Chain A
Amino acid sequence: MHALAARRAAARPPGCNETMTEPPQAHKTKRGPRAAASLFRLGATYLGLIIVDAFALYLIYAFASDGIWELAITIGVITLMVNIINLRADLYALRWIAPALSLMILLVVFPIAYTVYVSFTNYGDGNLLTKTQVLKLLGPQTYLPEGGKVYRWNLYQNASGEFALWLTDEDAGGAYYFATLHNFEPVTTVAAGADLPGEYQGYRQLSRGESLKAVNAAQAMAFGGESFKIGIAGRREAGEFAKRYQFLSEQDAVLDNKSGALFRANYATGQFENDEGGTLFTGFISAIGLENYQSFIDRDDIRGPLARIFAWTIAFSLASVFTTFALGLFFALLLQNKRIPFKRAFRTLLIIPWPIPGLISVAIWRGMLNSNLGVVSNIIRSFGLEPPPFFIDAGWAKLAIILVNLWLGYPYFMLVCSGALAAIPRDMYEAAEVDGANWWQKFRDLTLPMLLVAVGPLLIASFTYNFNNFIIIEAFNQGGPPMVEAGTVPAGHTDILISYAFRLAFGGGRGSDFGLASAITIIIFLMVAGVTLAQYRLTKGWEETSENV
């Protein structure tokens, strides 16, 4: 079947429309109102493309000038694809797919590829910007050089609170200048050496006391407009600002004009470093090779926790799949008995946990299991027992999570199993009964195998879903209780891989380590890919897939 389909596909010329009697490009050749309509459509296509292209070009330029080449290239590829598809008549069929394809490339394919890239970099706190962005940030930085031109300053302020400086150039015989935030000009209306006016161009001179209060705010400002910057340098002196940093591209280094030190780009650390080992205030994103992956083995505060988290992730997923499937199947079997009254009501009530948003369900359970005040603890206490420490002890926390996940997950399998059970032919059971099989034999040799054929793929899908079941871990106890040996790297006993990666990337406290977090998600990618591949091998899913196509 498969081979036949392939041969049929090969026999067709590329781009050929197999079934359509009238290929779309044929419209264009017709005359009359049809031709006008199609001309209009063609015009609309071009106009649309021009708008899309203009927008895309702006984005590509913007990202490229930030040094974010990967995003610029991705958008470029998508734009190119959209243009080709829309301009070539033989790709008409793809025009319908182009929107979905563009979105998937931008939001699924690119993020996966970008995750791989980030896992090989030092992206994280201290290294959040690309080198280009860091240089852009350094560009406007200024300082007041020693030995530059010095003025004496007085502070003025206008009605909207803006400051201005009255500058006296004592070297030039007390010539006056006036510098607002926007421009700098010599004062012509007041003679040199004359008293300062109380008001000038809408600015009011501040008294000594007012000046002292405002000086801190004013000191941070650069006066004089874009080209010529002047600022307060001391109690009485103001001076011209100079550009502080200079990028020397042939040496790939930044020269600090203030100290004269040369900061060379060090790609192993993602920092600009001088000879004494000092660095600039911010590093840049740099490819650091396998360092993130090596830290899985090298770093004591990651190796131990990671191994335990990995083991728990698999245990949690397996336990969740097994318990939810078993309980769901059990209820489905119970509901099979035709004599049970109010069956529809039972079924609906048992489904209740399913439609409730996961976060809400988990939060409710978190409240109910609260060791001091929760209702479950109170019930246990009313029997004279001590309620288990669900949030303090690692073992109890794990048990509680599996229990809560059981509550969340069984209705799905109950529904699926009900459907699958109904599809098993009755006469097979009758035949088994004739052969004298008891209920256990019927279940083991008939029901379960038949069921697993239908539900098997869903079990595997459920495994991969639980493998990444972030919500339950995060909403129940944020991965707690914390692991002691994890040190400053946040990790908890009930953390699964995805929540651990989340904590490394967005965990607050210790800061963000996007590189390490991405390296961990790569492990998850590999696991999910492996499971999926194994599933397809087992079920020969590839062939089924191609046949359905």
Chain B
Amino acid sequence: MSERHVIKHKRYSAAQNAQLLVQLIILVVAVIFAIFPVIWVVSASLNPSQSMVTQSVIPPLPETRTVFAEGAGTLLRIASPAGRRVERSAELILLVEIDGVEKELRSPKNGYVRNIRLEVGESFAADEALYDISSSYLINFDILLSTPRRPFLRWLFNSLAVASITAVLVVLISAFSAYSFSRFRFSGRRHLLVLILLVQVFPNLLAMVAIFLMLQQIGNHIPFFGLNTNGGLILVYVGGGMGINIWLMKGFFDSVPRDIDESALVDGANHWQTYWLLIFPLVRPVLVVVGILSFVGSYNEFVLARILLRDKDSWTLMVGLWSYVSASFALDWGVFAAGAIIGALPCLVIYLGLQDQIVGGLTQGAVKG
């Protein structure tokens, strides 16, 4: 092998080396195309100025600057304590009197107020220092996690809960079916299998109107599965994610030799015991793949979640992030970027960590959006 390699190496012509160089250049350009948006959003999340206007690839260094008064006056009241975490909706407000008029001075939204130079009741001259404010790389994350109007952690929790419960239910329920299709021979089996595949051709996104109306009616009688509930969303996800997974798992179940469970049955175990004690441990790899795919699928799902969930507290992460995009996007850009990074992290970790398994599962089961 190594000998052949050496021989090959000798044969490389100038043309081949030039070709390699061109290929490398193309690959580098391709990688820039691939990761530029990611770099950009990371830098935006670390940039203390939240708006899109002042973005740059390398965020400015954190700095402390002093805010000066714009006229002589008296400090009447400090509305939020300095030095504490300052969230955007509750920034420092100084109530002052300037030229006999009471005014509110609000601190800028992109920094932490460090120290207030004045005591309450103290007078200040024009251009006198009022307080120091220091920017921070993490201020966007701070705002993201502490704005009650947008309960990001709640959305993250909802998403993780919905996706995990969906994944577990999909795996359990479709594994039962796959076991039956793989191990029993009954009349109508073949038709049922083909029927399941056929039905699955239509994503349940297409029936969104019907699903919306159905959940509305169901919610009148079982509030837990109604509109605006995570229970209803899970129900829809589980029902929609069944068919293709039954097929994927059945293929894997078939590859487990039948002798194993037949000898267990002869020894007096029933099917329930055989399934849990023998088959289940053996098919665990495919269950993990199916579980991950349906976790990621429901974590990323946006359309049905948006239609079915109206109330802010029941939103999933994607619906919540969408609220940034649909509102004053350019102004909340930094905070959105912080949310996007946290939101993308679970899937990024799962995919890059388990690349090979997932690719294997994907090419077996074709694409499933």
State whether B270 touches A357 (Cβ < 8 A). Answer: no
| Bound Cα distance A86, B363 (Å) | 36
State whether A350 touches B184 (Cβ < 8 A). Answer: no
B 233-248 to A, binary, CB cutoff 8 A, 1 in contact else 0 = 0011011101100100
**Does A453 touch B at the CB level, under 8 Å?**
no
Q: How many residues of B contact A (CB 8 A)?
A: 107
CB contacts (< 8 Å) of B207 on chain A: these are 108, 111-112, 114-115, 521
CB contacts (< 8 Å) of B303 on chain A: these are 470-471, 474, 502
| Bound Cα distance A518, B205 (Å) | 12
CB contacts (< 8 Å) of A505 on chain B: these are 208-209, 212
State whether B366 touches A355 (Cβ < 8 A). Answer: no
CB contacts (< 8 Å) of B239 on chain A: these are 103-104, 106-108
Task: Tell me the B311-326 residues at the A interface (CB within 8 Å).
Answer: 318, 321-322, 324-326
State whether A63 touches B23 (Cβ < 8 A). Answer: no
CB contacts (< 8 Å) of B177 on chain A: these are 96-97, 99-101
Q: Which of A94, A334, A354, A498 contacts B351 (CB 8 A)?
A: A354
| Bound Cα distance A415, B30 (Å) | 15
A-B contact pairs, 15 of them (CB 8 A): A19-B262, A20-B183, A59-B221, A63-B217, A100-B174, A100-B242, A109-B199, A118-B209, A334-B27, A356-B344, A357-B347, A360-B343, A411-B34, A546-B190, A548-B251
B 179-216 to A, binary, CB cutoff 8 A, 1 in contact else 0 = 11101111101101110110111111111111111100
State whether B190 touches A549 (Cβ < 8 A). Answer: yes
State whether B206 touches A115 (Cβ < 8 A). Answer: yes
State whether B52 touches A349 (Cβ < 8 A). Answer: no
From residue B241, how far is it (CB to closest CB) to chain A in Å? Answer: 10
**Does B37 touch A at the CB level, under 8 Å?**
yes
CB contacts (< 8 Å) of A498 on chain B: these are 205-206
From residue A199, how far is it (CB to closest CB) to chain B in Å? Answer: 41
**Does B58 touch A at the CB level, under 8 Å?**
no
**Does B135 touch A at the CB level, under 8 Å?**
no
| Bound Cα distance A375, B296 (Å) | 30
- The prevalent SS among residues of B at the interface is helix
Q: Tell which of A262-270, A298-306, A461-469 binds the partner.
A: A461-469
CB contacts (< 8 Å) of B185 on chain A: these are 12, 16-19, 93
Q: Tell which of B64-72, B124-132, B329-337 binds the partner.
A: B329-337
Task: Tell me the A466-513 residues at the B interface (CB within 8 Å).
Answer: 468-471, 474-475, 478, 498, 501-502, 505-506
Q: Known: A337-B20, A352-B38, A416-B362. Is A111-B52 also a contact (CB below 8 A)?
A: no
CB contacts (< 8 Å) of A20 on chain B: these are 183-184, 262, 265
A 397-416 to B, binary, CB cutoff 8 A, 1 in contact else 0 = 00000000001000110011
**Does A514 touch B at the CB level, under 8 Å?**
yes
**Does A48 touch B at the CB level, under 8 Å?**
no
- The prevalent SS among residues of A at the interface is helix
Q: Known: A350-B34, A474-B303, A518-B210. Is A104-B348 also a contact (CB below 8 A)?
A: no
State whether A365 touches B212 (Cβ < 8 A). Answer: no
CB contacts (< 8 Å) of B116 on chain A: these are none
**Does B24 touch A at the CB level, under 8 Å?**
yes
CB contacts (< 8 Å) of B1 on chain A: these are none
State whether A107 touches B23 (Cβ < 8 A). Answer: no
Residues of chain A at the chain B interface (Cβ within 8 Å): 9, 12, 14-22, 24, 27, 58-59, 62-63, 66, 68, 71, 91-97, 99-101, 103-104, 106-112, 114-115, 118, 123, 331, 334-335, 337, 339-340, 346, 348-361, 363-368, 370, 372-375, 407, 411-412, 415-416, 419, 457-458, 461-462, 464-465, 468-471, 474-475, 478, 498, 501-502, 505-506, 514, 517-518, 521, 524-525, 528-529, 532, 545-546, 548-549
| Bound Cα distance A16, B41 (Å) | 60
**Does B105 touch A at the CB level, under 8 Å?**
no
CB contacts (< 8 Å) of B210 on chain A: these are 110-112, 114-115, 118, 518
From residue B274, how far is it (CB to closest CB) to chain A in Å? Answer: 10
State whether A373 touches B53 (Cβ < 8 A). Answer: yes
Residues of chain B at the chain A interface (Cβ within 8 Å): 12, 20, 23-24, 26-27, 30-31, 33-35, 37-38, 40-41, 44, 51-53, 55, 173-174, 176-177, 179-181, 183-187, 189-190, 192-194, 196-197, 199-214, 217-218, 220-222, 235-236, 238-240, 242-243, 246, 251, 258, 262, 265-266, 270-271, 296, 299-300, 302-303, 307, 318, 321-322, 324-326, 329-330, 333, 336-337, 340, 343-344, 347-348, 350-352, 355, 359, 362-363, 366-367, 369
Q: Known: A107-B211, A118-B213, A340-B24. Is A363-B321 also a contact (CB below 8 A)?
A: yes
